[in-house]
Amino acid sequence: MMVVIPQLLSKEEVKKFRELMDKAEWVDGGVTAGEQSRQAKKNSQLPEDGDAAQQLGRALLEKLHLNPLFLSAALPAEIFPPLFNRYAGGDRFGNHIDNSIRMVRSTGKRIRTDLSMTVFLSEPEEYEGGELIVEDTYGAHSAKLPAGDMVLYPSTSLHRVEPVTRGARVSSFFWMQSMIRDNEQRAELFQLDNTIQRLAGELGQKHQSVIDLTGLYHNLVRRWAEP
């Protein structure tokens, strides 16, 4: 399941992010890649323990925790601190699957990567190429979204970033562990929650069908969720 979260950041917030990023030092993006991924990865990245990445990461997490669409789709348990990268001059990231476990360097805490996330911080017209291609059982899906939009997708998916041949593709990328480990179960809960919200708008929160479906939703979460 590939889900787009529109306007996670406003255009003004994106502008402030970019101003801070433009002043920061960038390093080789291979520092956060696994041994196999490092061979396919060519980009630059803000140092994850640097002031800019720390400040921007905190701001991004605050926005996520207030976004109902994200909370419904992801059912987050733990979120890896956001990282920030830049693709330019032919940079790309070939086909790969994200590492199953990521360790937060500052705390040593390990997080299982159930969902991968990209927040676009460049407008599509600012660069050529740079599409995020995610492959699943239904084929390949392409994402090149407006600045401020986010896409999330299962970390089990084979995916890549196409070469950037003009301009620069700037984004944030990170991972999260969901309360619901199974991708299909998480997708079913998301669909059920969307149905409940739609019916509540049409029939009202107190309608018996809404109450019954809400009870079913919470009982399924109770059955499938991991502490």
Domains and CATH numbers, the chain: 3-178 (2.60.120.620), 183-224 (4.10.860)
List pLDDT tens digits, range 186-197: 999 999 999 999
Overall average pLDDT of the 41-64 stretch:
95
In this prediction, residues 41-47 reach a mean pLDDT of: 94
Give the chain's mean pLDDT: 95
pLDDT above 60 (res 34): no
Buried b (16+ CB within 10 A) or exposed e, 42-67: bbbbbbbebebbbebbeebeebbeeb
pLDDT at 32: 65
In this structure, what are the phi and psi dihedrals at residue 149, rounded to the nearest 5 degrees? -85, 155
pLDDT at 133 over 60: yes
Predicted confidence at residue 38, as pLDDT, reads: 61
- Location of structure tokens 């323990």: 49
Percentage of residues in the chain having pLDDT higher than 90: 90
The pTM score is 0.93
Give the C-alpha separation, 176 to 115, whole Å.
Answer: 5
Distances (CA, A) of 19 to 3, 16, 70, 95, 126: 28, 5, 26, 31, 16
The average pLDDT across 142-150 equals 98
Residue 43: which of 174, 169, 175, 166 has the closest Cα?
Answer: 169
